Structure 1
Amino acid sequence: MTRDQAIQHATHHFDSGAFLADLNRRVGFRTESQEPERAATLLAYLTGEIVPEAERLGFETRIFDNPVAGAGPLLIATRHEGDDLPTVLIYGHGDVVRGYDDQWRESLTPWTVKVEGERWYGRGTADNKGQHSINLAALASVLDARDGKLGFNAKLLIEMGEETGSPGLDAFCHTHKEALGADVLIASDGPRLAARRPTVFLGSRGSINFRLELNLREGAHHSGNWGGLLRNPATVLVNALASLVDARGVIAVEGLRPPPIPDAVRRALADISVGGGPGDPAVDNNWGEPGLTPPERVFGWNSFEVLALKAGNPENPVNAIPASAFAYCQLRFVVGTDWQNLAGYLRTHLDAHGFPMVEIRVERGAPATRLDPDDPWVTWAIASLERTTGKKTAVLPNLGGTLPNEVFADTLGLPTIWVPHSYPACSQHAPNEHLLGPVAREGLQIMAGLFWDLGENAPTVAAARG
């Protein structure tokens, strides 16, 4: 049997309507992990969909309670073919964000897949049921083409709480580190760089959210009677913000700036373009760090964002000096940023610039990860994708957004290869979420080829990596 036959099997699985039927059934589970009353449905998705599919593929399965009380369960499935064979860990999540049923376009519902041209509408089609369904179907295609053998060992980890921040995932992987041991992670989530361009990304930017607050007094006071006498917290706060990030978005706090972009990252981003797709906003070329290209600014650098800002009553302003003001901010950052000391850097900077009265409250953070673009696993994956598609693969050293990749890269110590099957305008997390049929079809072909190649030459790749 041949690689081409594995790809043909995957293509037939799409063209026959079998893939659509699988996805429609899975989308029908209302796995909204943000809703406590969906706990039974989260478990039912694993027991009713993933376990039967994994066992049909020859995996031994086990479902575990989450170490965080009330969080969604997790599944580990294992298929072992030989002690001398490489092992791949495949990750996905079966939970989705809230359906927001009444906000979808007329004739659409979040819980049934509806096909309109290239678009397959339904909650989870893009994030993440469609993506892990592609990977499971690709495994089946390789098994069919290789007479019931993959040529490698495979482990599957499906969580049911990614949309609530993956509670318990890191602790779970610490506890089950041996059971989840592998040579490489191959997973699918997030969007391609563009719908028609196959993409590999190797990690994700980290993020940390924090509040800047200024509480000066009890109650507001009339601006005519007290204007010019009382310090306005909104005025102080916006000036404090202006000391942190300038008018074109350049970060002014040295400790919050990343190290220089590595040469391997610059090379990977050299042929990348950002935006330009349907529904994409126009890129502001005069925004952000000077001297960087747009791809370098979003994939290779840090960004400081003010997500919300409030003082007084914006909906119904009154002639009064507000008593307090706050800004809700976020730092997106790349590997090498000393993000865990963010509060200290902010405190030192604000004090030095005359703003000791501004309080800092750090809320949460997630680390940045990035596999070296020159890693042998990356070279292997790119060659596989390009052999299948005949297209040049976009290689992103990391996503601009954030995934729980640190659990795989740091806790489990794995090189991480992400092959996304969605695209930027998929309305992920919004009403009218959709998967593009042509991207899903090509994704099935890509993954069948990638898993076939894993069985053919992964030992050589693992040996080259040392």
Structure 2
Amino acid sequence: MTFEYTREQAVRESAHSAIPTALADLGALVRIPSIAWPAFDQSQLRRSADSVAALAESTGIFDSVEVTSAAIPGTDEHGQPAVLATRAARNGRPTVLLYAHHDVQPHGDDALWDSPPFEPTVRDGRLYGRGAADDKAGIMVHIAALRAVKEAIGDDLDLGVALFIEGEEEYGSRSFGQFLSDNADALRSDVIVVADSGNWDVDTPALTVSLRGNARFTLRVRTLDHASHSGMFGGVVPDAMMATVKLLSTLWDDDGSVAVKGLHERDAETPEYSEETLRDEAGLPAGVKPIGTGSLLGRIWNKPSITITGIDATSVASASNTLAPEVTVVISARVAPGQQADDAYAAIEEHLRAHAPFGAELEFSDVDCGDAFLVDTSGWAVELARDALGRGYGKDAVDVGVGGSIPFISDLVREFPGAQILVTGVEDPHTRAHSPNESLHLETFRRAVLSEALLLAGLDARTM
């Protein structure tokens, strides 16, 4: 008992002392605009990967650290650079795979940011910047926790560790499956920690036990061979915008619930969550009503949703009295746990084809599907993680579902069926990931580092 207490105290002290350096390193990563989308400077992805590799080297943990990539199946291209670092287990200890991603979402309109998106800025206990939370903070939780256990346990550390920091998660993880296959031996592990989710609030840690799947695609609606004068032919010739608006409106009932036959729902209880909390966390004005039916969290965690995330049409500045021949939209659907994403996409495509107005021509492209995820909460690693989170935050962890998707987890399950997967993170309801003014709650980051350090120390004490 004395040994365990001394060991935990050493880990706590090391985790505490690791925070200033970790935050400085996080700031340096945020300054790199590592956007994987091809419209942006792709050299920044390599710069970001090299920086992460240097951080991995700095832990003194790994036998091997490399920046590498994998082929994108069905193409002649390779995916974006990833970091792979490995350390072999000793004396019968388990191996843990630590995952995060170093690419970030596009920052959007600079004018919507209160400070420059790639200049880390601290305000009111939060660090602002694109990637400050999603997911460069996830990288630094891993790095800082590894530094802490190395300092606290030293040469007695026997835990096997694989660190996989992906470079294209925000752009669909196109080479993820191939990367896993190419590096299966290096990545094979007993426990996988995915640091890309969030917590119940800034004080309450969470373990994500369900995620919705996704089905994203591009739809082109065409009604004319060429643009025509709206005065000469309006009223008899259907323009593409009119057809698109009518078609898209069939996707929802009047209350905003998804109206596509063949999309499933999951029947599962959810915790209490008030409309007042929803309005605060989502930025929903008092006059705007929530959509859908059932419990609020049930709508987010267990039901499908459909969102139009992009549209190519004549801009307001270029508007003229013209009938548009075609309109292109991007449709993003979230799929309830328990349904295959491919089946959900097929149902949506069938619905759209059946409801195309005026014989409008539909073209589907860029289909990207990822399956939902449900955690088996009966494993020993789940209990170990809950305990570490509780001790790290000083408050019991809760199991949560998430309305978002992490499609590559299904690849991890397929490639490593025997591994226990733990989905953690540093985000909170006010993080605004993917949005302007993304931020990291600094106290949450400190607690997350301590929790993961305690988890790693607990794994190191376990014999398989």
TM over 0.5: yes
Q: Give the deviation of 1:304 after TM superposition.
A: 1.4
Which of residues 371, 388, 393 in structure 2 aligns to 1:389?
A: 393
Are the aligned partners of 2:89 and 2:95 in contact in 1 as well (CA < 8 Å)? no
- 2:83 pairs with one of 67, 75, 82: 75
**Does the 8 Å CA contact 2:214/2:372 hold for their aligned counterparts?**
no
> 2:274 aligned with 1:270, yes or no?
no
**What pairs up with 1:333-352 in 2 under 5 angstroms?**
333-342=335-344, 344-346=346-348, 348-350=350-352, 352=354
- Aligned residue for 1:438? 443
Contact 1:101 1:109 in 2 (8 A): no
Q: Which amino acid aligns with 1:372?
A: V
Deviation, 1:181, is: 0.7
Per-residue CA deviations over 1:115-151 (Å, capped at 9, x if unaligned) read: 3341223443212222221222222222333343345
Match of 1:92 among 68, 92, 100: 100
- Summarize the Cα distance change of 1:172–1:338 in structure 2 as closer, same or farther, 3 Å threshold: closer
Matching residue of 1:245:
252
Aligned in 2, Cα 1:328/1:65: closer, same or farther, shift over 3 Å? closer
Give CA-to-partner distance per residue, 1:257-300, whole Å, 9 cap, x none. 12432x4xx2xx32456635467335966512x2x211111111
TM-aligned CA distance change 1:302 to 1:393, over 3 Å: same
**SS where residue 170 of structure 1 aligns?**
helix
**Matched residues in 2 for 1:350 and 1:105: separation?**
37
1:59-114 Cα deviation digits (max 9, x unpaired): 432332433445432222222233632221101223334567965867x5555544
Q: In the superposition, relative to structure 1, how do residues 151 and 282 fare at CA in structure 2: closer, same or farther (>3 Å)?
A: farther
Matches within 5 A, 1:194-273: 194-202=201-209, 204-255=211-262, 257-261=263-267, 263=268, 266=269, 269-271=270-272
Q: Which residue of structure 1 lines up, in the alignment, with residue 456 of structure 2?
A: 451
Corresponding residue for 1:173? Answer: 180
Contact 1:369 1:409 in 2 (8 A): no
> How far 1:444 moved relative to its partner?
1.7
Please give the alpha-carbon distance, in whole angstroms, between the structure 1 residues aligned to 2:27 and 2:318.
Answer: 46
SS in 2 for 1:419: strand
Distance apart, 1:188 and its partner CA: 1.1
For the residues of structure 1 that align with 2:296 and 2:248, how far apart are their CA atoms?
24
> Residue type matched to 1:281 in 2?
L
From 360, 363, 368, the counterpart of 2:366:
363
Deviation at residue 420 of structure 1 after TM alignment: 0.8
Tell me which of 306, 309, 323 is aligned to 1:307. Answer: 309
Structure 2 residue matching 1:2: 3-state secondary structure: helix
Q: Which residue of the other structure, out of 420, 423, 432, is the alignment partner of 1:418?
A: 423
Distance change >3 Å, CA 435–CA 101, structure 1 → 2: same
Which of 162, 172, 175 lines up with 1:155 in the alignment? 162
What residue is the counterpart of 2:16 in the other structure?
Answer: 11
- Which moves more between the two structures, 245-254 or 342-351? 342-351
1:240 aligned counterpart, secondary structure: helix
Report how far residue 385 of structure 1 moved.
1.6
Q: Is the 8 A contact 2:157 2:460 kept in 1?
A: yes
Compute the displacement of 1:3 (Å). 1.8
Native 8 Å contact 2:308 2:330 kept in 1: yes
Shift in alpha-carbon separation, 1:415–1:259, aligned structure 2, 3 A: farther
Match 2:433 to one of 424, 428, 431: 428
CA distance in 2, matches of 1:313, 1:161: 30
Give TM-score, length-normalised by structure 2: 0.83
Residue 380 (structure 1) aligned with residue 384 (structure 2) = yes
SS of 2:440's equivalent in the other structure is strand
In the superposition, relative to structure 1, how do residues 184 and 309 fare at CA in structure 2: closer, same or farther (>3 Å)? same
Partner Cα separation in structure 2 for residue 123 and residue 310 of structure 1: 25
Counterparts of 2:62 and 2:223 in 1: how far apart (Å)?
65
Instruction: Please report how far the alpha carbon of residue 367 of structure 1 lies from its aligned counterpart in structure 2 after TM superposition.
Output: 1.5
Aligned match of 1:404 in 380, 403, 408? Answer: 408
- Is 2:144 the partner of 1:133? no
Identity of aligned residues (%): 22
Q: 2:342, 2:369 within 8 Å by CA — same for their partners in 1?
A: no
Task: Note the C-alpha offset of 1:186.
Answer: 0.8
State how far apart, in whole Å, the 1-side matches of 2:343 and 2:25 are. 46
Paired residue for 2:298? 296
Q: In the comparison of the two structures, how many residue pairs are matched?
A: 446
> In 2, distance between residues paired with 1:313 and 1:102?
20
Distance 1:365 1:111, change over 3 A: closer
In the alignment, the residues of structure 1 paired with residue 7 and residue 239 of structure 2 have an alpha-carbon distance, to the nearest angstrom, of 72
Distance in 1, matches of 2:62 and 2:227, equals: 67
| SS of equivalent residue, structure 2 residue 100 | strand
Residues in 2 aligned to 1:354 and 1:128: alpha-carbon distance in whole angstroms: 39
Deviations 1:431-455 (A, max 9, x none): 5443221111111221122222223
CA contact (8 A) 1:237 1:358 kept: no
CA distance in 2, matches of 1:347, 1:310: 19
Letter paired with 1:374 = T
Segment drifting more, 239-248 vs 336-345 = 336-345
Give the secondary structure class of the aligned counterpart of 2:207. Answer: strand
1:193 maps onto 2:197 in alignment: no
- Cα offset, 1:157, TM superposition: 0.9
- Shift in CA distance, 22/38, structure 1 to aligned 2, threshold 3 Å: closer
Unmatched segments (≥5 aa) in structure 2: 1-5
Unaligned runs of at least 5 residues, structure 1:
460-466
